[in-house]
DNA sequence: GTAGGGTTAG
């Protein structure tokens, strides 16, 4: 790439108008500034382009400002230079100056400034440009039409309008649809979460015989990943391999991501290993994919990232922090935090959210709060993460205070944050407070509770022993209760040994999910606690007939950077006798300090896994 | 002088 050719030549021979930039390059030995050579407008425009291509739009702007006359080509070079450097505000401002100066935009100007409207997510700006283009008769042509389509497809319309109707209309009216037009439509649907519509557009594209290129392949795979269809994903994979784009990096990266999202980790890993070359995005997709199912393996792969001379970035660290949170390995999380600080990545919002989450889930609530408090930018997820942290650590009151603080700052809550604060109340036994939030959600904020929220409220009432209220609430629901809601009632019935409701809830779950063995275990425990031995034996008989065991309970702690796991009923540890002796001591101690220790359930569950 | 793609958090 050519370097900027200093000294800059002059347009105006008047030394009084010499800019600071040019002054810096004058010296007594250089030619007299009053008689410099003059760049032609074409040469100046080329210089502007070259400066922008080198990532110096500011320098280009000084050149531009010193041009005695600026034609539409110069203006467009400046606008497009800003756009390609991500300076969309400046591109827009320059477009406005241009029209104010009476210079009419052409097709090139229109497509460039539309790119910036998209970059700003600003649909209305796009519509203004559209109107100007129509007035000047430059609203036709592949480039302009595709750029317009992209603004409509990429920026939402308004509260009830996702903007795709208008995009679709523009798309159908196009004289000629290129691969770019098709890609834009598939991407528009996919980014809105309508991967199914995206796949349909892609299918139509193939049917109409449009040629596949890496862009269309990768977005089509992404559409497929978003709906989690492995069958469709595999078909696409075959199609992509046939078209010869199988190992194009963005395409291959989408494939890795697709296999992960379709829960086919082995295939993702196989493809990952087969790839002739990988970049950081490949690694990040694979690590994030593993993290969703097996945090331990995600950490392992993370350690191998250096073998390809790659440096982890914010995406990598965010996934790895989730893995640490999931495994509750505080030391590991602290080391990752250190690596993040050393690399100066601390300003990233998503990663700070992951840090808040990690410290909270590793039980270090003070560190979590410190990160949260020091964030100079917070979104709803930051607040939610902090509230979850308080909730799981038993700080119900703090979660409530944080919720109120958030509301006072004018932040709009969603159903997730309501669920979290209600759940925090539930774990802290703050029943009436939890119900207050549930009421505020429905009446004050008009957010219809989904089944997860109902599950939380049932749990809240159930833990407190208000089982009939919980049952009444289920009956009031406008939709059919699913197994998680009945599960919450069943758990509460077990906790308070309510045979009648327990039997009813269990029956509902058995209808909805007959293969769920946990239901039988819980129900039999309720019968045992109620001394209904006939029913107990019958439930156990059914359970044995199902031929599968309840998954063994497991917990783990981290000691000196190693994770030690404990599986219920496992006696393989060489120190097993000592372990049980100490456990006995702890139980004894808990009983002495009147800790609320529920041992009867433990015995029934324990025999199940042996 | 102009348009389209892949990885992260509750």
DSSP conformation letters of A544-579: HHT--PPPPPEEEEEETTEEEEEETT---STTHHHH
| pLDDT score recorded for residue A187 | 95
Residues A519 and A603 in one domain: no
Residue A599, pLDDT > 70, answer no
Distance CA(A587)–CA(A303), nearest Å, equals: 39
Q: Does any domain span residue A145?
A: yes
Residues A538 and A599 in one domain: no
Which nucleotide is closest to the Cα of A108 by its C1'?
B2
pLDDT classification of A567: cutoffs 50, 70, 90: confident
A304-313, A317-326, A512-521: which has the minimum mean pLDDT?
A512-521
Residue A222 CA and nucleotide B5 C1' are separated, in Å, by 9
- HEC string of A22-68? HHCCCCCCCCCCCCCCCCCHHHHHHHHHHHHHCCCHHHHHHHHHCCC
Residue A380 approaches strand B within 7 Å at CB: yes
Distance CA(A221)–CA(A219), nearest Å, equals: 5
Where a domain ends, among A523, A550, A577? A550
Average pLDDT for residues A418-431, to the nearest whole number? Answer: 94
pLDDT classification of A562: cutoffs 50, 70, 90: low
Residue A542 CA and nucleotide B3 C1' are separated, in Å, by 64
Q: Does any domain span residue A493?
A: yes
Residue A85 approaches strand B within 7 Å at CB: no
Beta bridge partners of A557: A564
Residues A455 and A497 in one domain: yes
pLDDT classification of A1: cutoffs 50, 70, 90: very low
Counted domains in chain A: 3
A290-to-A25, A264, A273, A323 alpha-carbon distances in Å: 56, 10, 14, 9
Give the CATH number for residue A512. 1.25.40
Residue A595, pLDDT > 70, answer no
Which nucleotide is closest to the Cα of A420 by its C1'?
B10
Nucleic chain B contacts, protein chain A, residues 554-593, CB cut-off 7 A: none
CB neighbours (10 Å) of residue A420? Answer: 27
A313-to-A305, A343, A347, A419 alpha-carbon distances in Å: 11, 9, 12, 32
Residues A481 and A570 in one domain: no
For residue A447, give the 3-state DSSP assignment.
Answer: coil
What is the per-residue pLDDT across A455-505, written as a single tens digit (0 to 9) for each? Answer: 999 999 999 999 999 999 999 999 999 988 999 999 999 999 999 999 999
Residue A383 CA and nucleotide B6 C1' are separated, in Å, by 29
Distance CA(A359)–CA(A118), nearest Å, equals: 37
The more confidently predicted of residues A36 and A270 is A270
Residue A384 approaches strand B within 7 Å at CB: yes
Residues A546 and A569 in one domain: no
Residue A107 approaches strand B within 7 Å at CB: yes
| pLDDT score recorded for residue A211 | 87
Residue A607, pLDDT > 60, answer no
- In degrees rounded to 5, what are phi and psi of residue A100? -65, -35
Residues A130 and A150 in one domain: yes
Tokens of A14: 């008047």
| pLDDT score recorded for residue A27 | 42
What percent of chain A is modeled with pLDDT above 90? 71
Distance CA(A144)–CA(A320), nearest Å, equals: 42
Residue A50 approaches strand B within 7 Å at CB: no
Residue A348 approaches strand B within 7 Å at CB: yes
- In degrees rounded to 5, what are phi and psi of residue A566? -125, 120
pLDDT classification of A514: cutoffs 50, 70, 90: confident
pLDDT classification of A231: cutoffs 50, 70, 90: very high
Residue A248 approaches strand B within 7 Å at CB: yes
A599-to-A58, A347, A518 alpha-carbon distances in Å: 71, 47, 18
Residue A310 CA and nucleotide B5 C1' are separated, in Å, by 22
A338-to-A342, A344, A355, A371, A374 alpha-carbon distances in Å: 6, 10, 11, 13, 16
Residue A146 approaches strand B within 7 Å at CB: yes
pLDDT classification of A563: cutoffs 50, 70, 90: low
Distance CA(A363)–CA(A325), nearest Å, equals: 9
Residue A118 approaches strand B within 7 Å at CB: yes
A409: left (phi over 0), alpha (psi -120 to 50) or beta: alpha
Average pLDDT for residues A207-214, to the nearest whole number? Answer: 91
Distance CA(A216)–CA(A235), nearest Å, equals: 15
Residues A532 and A573 in one domain: no
A161-175, A300-314, A354-368, A391-405: which has the minimum mean pLDDT?
A161-175
Residues A76 and A164 in one domain: yes
Residue A198 CA and nucleotide B4 C1' are separated, in Å, by 14
Where a domain ends, among A172, A187, A212? A172
Q: Does any domain span residue A95?
A: yes
Which nucleotide is closest to the Cα of A191 by its C1'?
B5
Residues A168 and A82 in one domain: yes
Residues A84 and A154 in one domain: yes
Residues A545 and A592 in one domain: no
Instruction: Count Cβ atoms within 10 A of the Cβ of residue A92 and give its class: 0-12 exposed, 13-18 middle, 19 or more buried.
Output: buried
Residue A90 CA and nucleotide B4 C1' are separated, in Å, by 23
Whether the Cβ atoms of residue A82 and residue A116 lie closer than 8 Å to each other: yes
Q: Does any domain span residue A161?
A: yes
| pLDDT score recorded for residue A249 | 95
Residue A19, pLDDT > 60, answer no
Average pLDDT for residues A110-136, to the nearest whole number? Answer: 94
Whether the Cβ atoms of residue A322 and residue A293 lie closer than 8 Å to each other: no
What is the per-residue pLDDT across A63-98, written as a single tens digit (0 to 9) for each? Answer: 999 999 999 999 999 999 999 999 999 999 999 999
Of A605, A487, A514, the C-alpha closest to A553 is: A605
Average pLDDT for residues A196-202, to the nearest whole number? Answer: 95
Which single residue has its CA nearest the C1' atom of nucleotide B8? A315
A280: Cβ contacts below 8 Å, ≥ 6 apart: A310, A311, A312, A313, A315, A316
| pLDDT score recorded for residue A3 | 35
Tokens of A578: 């000592």
Residue A179 approaches strand B within 7 Å at CB: yes
Cα–chain-centroid distance for residue A111? Answer: 30
Residue A244 CA and nucleotide B4 C1' are separated, in Å, by 19
A492: Cβ contacts below 8 Å, ≥ 6 apart: A458, A459, A461, A462, A463, A465, A467, A470, A498, A501
Which single residue has its CA nearest the C1' atom of nucleotide B5? A215
Q: Does any domain span residue A11?
A: no
Average pLDDT of every residue of chain A: 87
Residue A115 approaches strand B within 7 Å at CB: yes
What percent of chain A is modeled with pLDDT above 70? 87
Distance CA(A246)–CA(A314), nearest Å, equals: 27
Residue A85 CA and nucleotide B5 C1' are separated, in Å, by 18
Residue A423 approaches strand B within 7 Å at CB: no
Chain B footprint positions (protein CB, under 7 Å)? 1-10
Residue A168 CA and nucleotide B8 C1' are separated, in Å, by 31
Residues A491 and A563 in one domain: no
Nucleic chain B contacts, protein chain A, residues 261-280, CB cut-off 7 A: 279-280
Residue A364 approaches strand B within 7 Å at CB: no
Q: Does any domain span residue A121?
A: yes
Residue A355 CA and nucleotide B9 C1' are separated, in Å, by 9
Residue A471 approaches strand B within 7 Å at CB: no
Tokens of A377: 């930018």
Residue A243 approaches strand B within 7 Å at CB: no
Domain that holds residue A461: 450-550
Where a domain ends, among A550, A570, A586? A550
For residue A82, give the 3-state DSSP assignment.
Answer: helix
DSSP A479: S
Average pLDDT for residues A512-516, to the nearest whole number? Answer: 85
Residue A255, pLDDT > 70, answer yes
* Cis preceding-peptide flag for A7 (omega within 30 of 0): yes
């Amino acid at each position: 790439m050519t370097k900027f050719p200093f000294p800059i030549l002059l347009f105006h021979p008047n030394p009084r108008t010499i800019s600071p930039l040019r002054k810096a390059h004058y010296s007594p030995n250089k030619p007299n500034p009053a008689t410099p050579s003059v760049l032609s407008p074409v040469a100046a425009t080329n210089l502007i382009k070259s400066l922008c291509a080198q990532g110096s739009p500011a320098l280009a702007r000084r050149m531009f400002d010193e041009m005695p006359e600026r034609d539409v080509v110069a203006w467009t070079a400046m606008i497009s230079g800003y756009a390609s450097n991500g300076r969309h505000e400046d591109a827009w401002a320059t477009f406005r100056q241009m029209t104010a100066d009476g210079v009419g935009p052409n097709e090139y100007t229109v497509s460039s400034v539309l790119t910036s409207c998209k970059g700003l997510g600003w649909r209305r700006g796009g519509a203004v440009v559209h109107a100007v283009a129509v007035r000047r008769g430059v609203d036709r042509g592949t480039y302009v039409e595709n750029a317009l389509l992209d603004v409509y497809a990429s920026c939402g319309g308004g509260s009830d309008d996702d903007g795709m109707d208008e995009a679709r209309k523009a798309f159908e009216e196009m004289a000629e649809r290129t691969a770019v037009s098709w890609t834009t439509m598939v991407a528009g649907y996919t980014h809105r979460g309508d991967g199914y519509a995206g796949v349909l557009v892609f299918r139509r594209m193939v049917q109409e015989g449009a040629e596949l290129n890496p862009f269309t392949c990768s977005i089509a795979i992404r559409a497929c990943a978003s709906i989690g269809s492995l069958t469709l994903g595999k078909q696409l994979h075959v199609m992509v391999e046939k078209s010869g784009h199988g190992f194009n990096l963005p395409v291959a990266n989408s494939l890795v991501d697709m296999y992960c999202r379709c829960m086919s980790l082995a295939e993702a890993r196989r493809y990952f290993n087969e790839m002739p070359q990988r970049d950081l995005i490949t690694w990040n997709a694979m690590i994030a994919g593993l993290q969703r199912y097996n945090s331990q393996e995600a950490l392992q792969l993370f350690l191998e990232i250096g073998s390809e001379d790659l440096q982890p970035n914010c995406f990598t660290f965010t996934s790895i922090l989730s893995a640490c949170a999931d495994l509750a390995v505080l030391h590991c999380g602290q080391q990752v935090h250190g690596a993040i600080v050393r690399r100066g990545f601390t300003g990233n919002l998503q990663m700070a959210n992951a840090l808040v989450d990690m410290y909270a889930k590793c039980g270090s609530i003070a560190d979590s709060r410190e990160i949260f408090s020091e964030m100079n930018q917070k979104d709803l997820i930051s607040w939610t993460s902090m509230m979850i942290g308080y909730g799981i650590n038993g700080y119900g009151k703090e979660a409530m205070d944080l919720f109120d603080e958030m509301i006072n700052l004018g932040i709009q809550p969603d159903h997730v944050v309501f669920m979290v604060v209600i759940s925090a109340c539930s774990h802290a036994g703050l029943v009436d407070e939890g119900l207050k939030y549930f009421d505020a959600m429905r009446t004050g904020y008009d957010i219809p509770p989904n089944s997860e929220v109902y599950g939380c409220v049932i749990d809240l009432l159930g833990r407190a022993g208000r089982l009939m209220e919980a049952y009444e609430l289920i009956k009031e629901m406008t939709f059919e209760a699913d197994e998680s809601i009945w599960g919450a009632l069943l758990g509460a019935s077990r906790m308070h040994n309510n045979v009648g409701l327990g039997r009813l809830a269990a029956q509902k779950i058995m209808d909805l999910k007959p293969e769920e063995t946990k239901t039988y275990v819980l129900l039999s425990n309720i019968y045992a606690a109620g001394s209904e031995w006939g029913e107990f034996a019958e439930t156990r008989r059914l359970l044995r007939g199902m031929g599968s065991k309840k998954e063994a309970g497991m917990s783990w702690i981290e000691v000196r950077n190693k994770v030690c796991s404990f599986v219920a009923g496992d006696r393989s540890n060489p120190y097993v006798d000592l372990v049980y002796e100490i456990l006995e001591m702890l139980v004894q101690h808990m009983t002495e300090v009147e800790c609320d220790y529920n041992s009867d359930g433990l015995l029934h569950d324990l025999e199940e896994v042996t």
